[in-house]
């Protein structure tokens, strides 16, 4: 049994315009010390998946309508409110996207790092403060005793993200969810933060769920990759498989739209045409068919099931695994789709 | 504003810049920047631990706010200790033993009024109803306003609509008219003035607090606190309140000034403090016919109201700056 096992998770939002199927039947699992990357365009349901794991979906309008989330044998979806609170920050912790705004401006950094410890471990103010200094040291903040007394605005972006990581890891959580942790940082700092996360993961054995649309980050960190499109997973497998034998045309599109410096420098980038669909009015059949260059009649009518193509490598495409249907070789369908 | 002036502070390193072992910039070319070798030398402002302690350090730099504070403390000490010295060295505020309408002199520094009472002692004693109305009435409004504003802003939905529509009902009536109507029901007197001003003050405080909460509630650090497992109460008190309270502190201190003016107006109209107890408003009311003949009768209580209200406003302004951590250094 994996550390975290998510089965058929469905999170829908009821809005005035209709039901938004933000997450619509997603299953995955994460092992201790492993990293799962969830990738996809904006609005594909990545963040809602993460928030569902922590039961942080605002209700109303959102609701987790189906599925199970088993963390070390406990079903997160069956927990009562106080058990969920006890779990948040202690067993599953989260790092947010923008470190500039995710620290409370009126408290000193050390105090905020210690807060989770006071809530979950019942530490005294003094012990929590001492532990906060240790955590700041651990995440590589120089002069931690002094910096713990600083306010967030006295920290730079990179340091704030380090402080956020210190905060998230203070209680030694089983699972760390990082929602685009490096998007708001500049490139050199991005690398430092990723390195720090890998190092801490190795030291503490934390499982990481990394939400990102940066495939470079995925290649650096992930053991497993889940590609999401329109609230569903379209491909799921080990990072090696997904990068080297991608099965789904959407994954091909993501990989093609990435600049590469190793092959041809002058090559043009190939964007995926069109926009991600509205999650209220999802296209019939395969949600990706309006943008898929390989779409056929069947794709308009029938929704492809997620199925295992090779061992441990799943994809939701009617043609995945067929001879010749591989990235770079498959022939786009020309002409109008009926 | 003084607090806004940037002082040369402790330099701190941005990630990626050259730093020494202590995390300080190796080279800081900002004018006036001081290289700090170790934690032992960090300035005192860096050492305090509480928000209130820091705020006080910043407030001290704001001379206008301190002037206001000093003046208010002075008035408060004067009026609280009045029984000890005013009757002995000047006069009892209600005794009519003197010659009427005497201009200021050594014996009566502020002169005497129409029926021979010492104006100075009446001004000193008159601070009692004014200050207590200001503080108590605003406390009532604050308690009600903060509770309703917090419920409204934090929980939203039907509760929010109900509270805000109730507030609208209060706003629908002209303020002064509503106060007078309430006092007509409750009967005149100082206690009822507290209640009337207090009850009528909550809707504006609730509104200000609600909108302030709404903006803070959407911030990522509140999400982060929730993701950390903080309870509603903790999120409210630790993360939302301190970030949403600044406008309330400004509004609250300023409305103390407003309440003092309302009390003065009510006493002027005869609905507040009843004769012969002195209050600044009732003194003005009695003096209105003699404004040209005996100007000291209007000048002194008027001056007292003006300076006291101004002091509260300056204090409120200073406190807003002091409570903004980003103004530090």
Task: Record the tokens describing residue A38, joined without a space.
Answer: 């969830």
* Residue A84: HSE in the Cβ half-sphere, 13 Å Cα cutoff: 19
Give the model confidence (pLDDT) of A82-113 as tens digits. 888 888 888 899 988 888 888 888 888 999 88
Tell me if B1 is assigned to some domain: no
Q: Which of B16, B23, B228 sits opposite A116 (nearest CB)?
A: B228
B21 vs A contacts (CB less than 8 Å): 142-143
Q: Which of B15, B22, B220 sits opposite A143 (nearest CB)?
A: B22
Nearest CA in chain A to B36: A146
Does the pLDDT of residue B10 top 80, yes or no?
no
- Decide if B229 and A101 are in contact by the 8 Å CB cutoff: no
Domain that holds residue B292: 58-327
Does the pLDDT of residue B133 top 50, yes or no?
yes
A143 vs B contacts (CB less than 8 Å): 21-24, 39
B32 and B62 together in one domain = no
pLDDT at B206: 94
pLDDT at B39: 40
Terminal Cα-to-Cα distance of chain A (whole angstroms)? 45
B22 and B150 together in one domain = no
B180 and B310 together in one domain = yes
Tell me if B319 is assigned to some domain: yes
- Which of A5-15 are b and which e, b meaning 16 or more Cβ less than 10 Å from the residue's Cβ? bbeebbbbbee
Is residue A137 within 8 angstroms of chain B, CB to CB?
Answer: no
Give the model confidence (pLDDT) of A1-12 as tens digits. 788 899 899 998
B169 and B114 together in one domain = yes
Nearest CA in chain B to A109: B49
Quickly state the pLDDT bin for B169 (edges 50, 70, 90). Answer: very high
A121 vs B contacts (CB less than 8 Å): none
- By the 10 Å C-beta count (0-12 exposed, 13-18 middle, 19+ buried), B164 is classed as middle
Tell me if B53 is assigned to some domain: no
For A243-259, what is the mean pLDDT?
A: 85
Q: Which helix (H) or strand (E) holds A279?
A: none
Interface confidence, given as ipTM, is 0.78
B30 and B88 together in one domain = no
Find all residues with CB under 8 Å of B181, minimum gap 6, and list them: B173
In a mutational test of the A interface, the residue from B224, B240, B320 whose CB has the highest number of chain A CBs within 10 Å is B224
Q: Which of B16, B220, B230 sits opposite A119 (nearest CB)?
A: B230
pLDDT at B163: 94
- Decide if B229 and A143 are in contact by the 8 Å CB cutoff: no
Question: Cα angle vertex B307, ends B302, B310, to 5°?
Answer: 120
Does the pLDDT of residue B48 top 80, yes or no?
no
Find all residues with CB under 8 Å of B116, minimum gap 6, and list them: B96, B97, B98, B99, B100
Tell me if B170 is assigned to some domain: yes
Residues A94, A29: Cα–Cα separation, whole Å: 17
B15 vs A contacts (CB less than 8 Å): 156-159, 189, 192
Give the model confidence (pLDDT) of A272-313 as tens digits. 877 888 888 888 888 888 888 888 888 888 888 888 888 889
Residues B105, A299: Cα–Cα separation, whole Å: 102
Give the model confidence (pLDDT) of A50-74 as tens digits. 889 888 888 778 888 888 899 888 8
Nearest CA in chain B to A167: B228
Chain A with chain B: Cβ pairs closer than 8 A: 112
Closest Cα of chain A to B76: distance in Å? Answer: 32
B199 and B283 together in one domain = yes
Nearest in space to A193 (alpha carbons), one of A175, A180, A174 = A180
B93 and B14 together in one domain = no
Is residue A271 within 8 angstroms of chain B, CB to CB?
Answer: no
Give the model confidence (pLDDT) of A311-336 as tens digits. 889 988 888 878 778 787 777 776 55
Residues B118, B91: Cα–Cα separation, whole Å: 6
What's the residue count for chain B? 329
- Decide if A96 and B39 are in contact by the 8 Å CB cutoff: no
Nearest in space to B123 (alpha carbons), one of B297, B322, B241, B319 = B297
B132 and B18 together in one domain = no
- Decide if B326 and A105 are in contact by the 8 Å CB cutoff: yes
B238 vs A contacts (CB less than 8 Å): 104, 107, 115
- Could you give phi then psi for residue B11, rounded to 5 degrees? -70, 140
User: Residues of B at the A interface (Cβ-Cβ below 8 Å)?
Assistant: 12-16, 19, 21-24, 39, 42, 46-47, 49, 51, 219-221, 223-231, 234, 238-239, 242-243, 325-326, 328
Tell me if B215 is assigned to some domain: yes
Are the C-beta atoms of residues A26 and A52 closer than 8 Å to each other? no
Nearest in space to A180 (alpha carbons), one of A98, A69, A302 = A98
pLDDT at B53: 76
Residues A166, A74: Cα–Cα separation, whole Å: 26
Does the pLDDT of residue B12 top 80, yes or no?
no
B262 and B303 together in one domain = yes
Are the C-beta atoms of residues A87 and A93 closer than 8 Å to each other? no
- Decide if A158 and B51 are in contact by the 8 Å CB cutoff: no
B104 and B188 together in one domain = yes
Domain total in chain B: 2
Tell me if B179 is assigned to some domain: yes
Q: Which of B19, B23, B325 sits opposite A151 (nearest CB)?
A: B325
- Decide if B220 and A90 are in contact by the 8 Å CB cutoff: no
Quickly state the pLDDT bin for B327 (edges 50, 70, 90). Answer: low
> Beta strand A62-71 with A74-75: parallel, antiparallel or unpaired?
antiparallel
Strand, coil or helix: A338: coil
Quickly state the pLDDT bin for A266 (edges 50, 70, 90). Answer: low
Q: Whole-model pTM above 0.80?
A: no
Residues B83, B61: Cα–Cα separation, whole Å: 35
B142 and B27 together in one domain = no
Q: Which of A97, A102, A149 sits opposite B221 (nearest CB)?
A: A102
For B242-258, what is the mean pLDDT?
A: 85
Nearest CA in chain A to B157: A60
> DSSP 3-state helix, strand, coil percentages of chain B (rounded to 5)?
70, 0, 30
Q: Whole-number mean pLDDT of chain B?
A: 80
Is residue A164 within 8 angstroms of chain B, CB to CB?
Answer: yes
In a mutational test of the A interface, the residue from B50, B55, B217, B228 whose CB has the highest number of chain A CBs within 10 Å is B228
Residues B184, A105: Cα–Cα separation, whole Å: 47
Does the pLDDT of residue B44 top 60, yes or no?
no
Least confident residue range of A240-249, B5-14, B207-216: B5-14
Give the model confidence (pLDDT) of A21-47 as tens digits. 888 889 999 988 899 999 988 888 888
B106 and B176 together in one domain = yes
- Please compute Rg for chain B using Cα positions: 25
Tell me if B234 is assigned to some domain: yes
Q: What is the CATH number of the domain that holds B93?
A: 1.10.3720.10
């Amino acid at each position: 049994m994996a550390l975290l096992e998510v089965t058929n998770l469905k999170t829908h939002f009821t809005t005035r315009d209709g039901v938004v199927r933000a997450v619509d039947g997603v299953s995955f699992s994460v092992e201790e010390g492993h990293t799962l990357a969830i990738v996809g365009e904006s609005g594909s349901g990545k963040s809602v998946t993460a928030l569902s794991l922590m039961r942080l979906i605002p209700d109303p309008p959102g609701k987790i309508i189906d599925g199970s989330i088993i963390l070390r044998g406990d079903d997160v979806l069956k927990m009562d409110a106080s058990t969920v609170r006890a779990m948040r920050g202690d067993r599953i912790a989260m790092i947010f996207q923008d470190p500039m705004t995710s620290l409370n401006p009126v408290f000193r950094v050390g105090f905020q790092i210690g807060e989770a410890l006071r809530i979950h471990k019942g530490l005294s103010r003094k012990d929590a403060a001492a532990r906060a200094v240790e955590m700041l040291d651990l995440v590589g903040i120089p002069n931690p005793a002094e910096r713990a007394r600083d306010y967030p605005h006295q920290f730079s972006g990179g340091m704030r993200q380090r402080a956020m990581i210190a905060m998230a890891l203070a209680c030694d959580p089983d699972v760390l969810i990082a929602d685009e942790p490096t998007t708001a940082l500049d490139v050199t700092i991005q690398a430092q933060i990723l390195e720090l996360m890998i190092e801490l993961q190795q030291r503490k054995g934390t499982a990481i769920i990394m939400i990102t649309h940066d495939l470079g980050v995925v290649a650096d960190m992930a053991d497993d990759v889940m590609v999401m499109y329109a609230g569903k997973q379209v491909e799921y497998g080990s990072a090696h498989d997904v990068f080297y034998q991608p099965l789904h045309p959407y994954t091909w599109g993501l990989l093609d739209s990435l600049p590469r410096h190793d092959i041809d420098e002058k090559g043009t980038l190939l964007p995926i045409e069109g926009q991600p669909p509205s999650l209220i009015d999802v296209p019939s059949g395969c949600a990706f068919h309006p943008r898929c260059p390989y779409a056929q009649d069947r794709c308009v009518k029938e929704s492809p099931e997620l199925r295992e193509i090779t061992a441990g490598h799943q994809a939701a495409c009617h043609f995945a695994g067929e001879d010749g249907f591989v990235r770079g070789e498959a022939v786009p369908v020309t002409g109008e789709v009926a | 504003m003084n607090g806004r002036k940037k002082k040369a502070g402790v330099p701190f390193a941005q990630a990626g810049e050259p730093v020494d072992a202590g995390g300080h910039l190796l080279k800081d070319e900002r004018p006036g920047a001081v290289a700090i070798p170790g934690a032992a030398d960090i300035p005192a402002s860096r050492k305090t631990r509480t928000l209130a302690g820091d705020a006080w350090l910043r407030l001290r730099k704001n001379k206008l706010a301190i002037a206001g504070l000093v003046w208010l403390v002075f008035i408060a000490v004067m009026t609280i200790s009045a029984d000890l010295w005013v009757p002995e060295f000047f006069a009892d505020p209600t005794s009519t033993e003197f010659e009427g309408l005497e201009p200021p002199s050594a014996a009566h520094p502020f002169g005497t009024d129409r029926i021979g009472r010492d104006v100075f002692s009446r001004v000193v004693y008159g601070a009692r109803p004014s200050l207590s109305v200001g503080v108590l009435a605003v406390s009532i409004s604050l308690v009600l306003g903060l509770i309703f504003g917090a419920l409204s802003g934090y929980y939203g939905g039907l509760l929010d609509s109900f509270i805000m529509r109730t507030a609208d009902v209060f706003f629908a009536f002209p303020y002064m008219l509503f106060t007078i109507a309430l006092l007509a029901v409750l009967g005149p007197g100082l206690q009822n003035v507290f209640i009337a001003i207090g009850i009528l003050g909550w809707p504006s405080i609730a509104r200000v607090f609600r909108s302030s909460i709404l903006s803070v509630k959407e911030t990522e650090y509140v999400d982060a606190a929730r993701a950390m497992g903080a309870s509603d109460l903790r999120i409210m008190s630790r993360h939302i309140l301190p970030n949403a309270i600044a406008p309330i502190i400004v509004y609250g201190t300023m409305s103390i000034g407003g309440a003092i003016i309302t009390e003065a107006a009510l006493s002027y109209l005869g609905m507040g403090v009843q004769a012969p107890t002195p209050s600044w408003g009732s003194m003005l009311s009695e003096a209105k016919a003699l404004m040209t003949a005996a100007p000291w009768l209007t000048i002194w209580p008027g001056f007292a109201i003006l300076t006291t209200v101004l002091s509260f406003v300056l204090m409120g302004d200073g406190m807003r700056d002091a409570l903004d951590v980003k103004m530090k250094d």
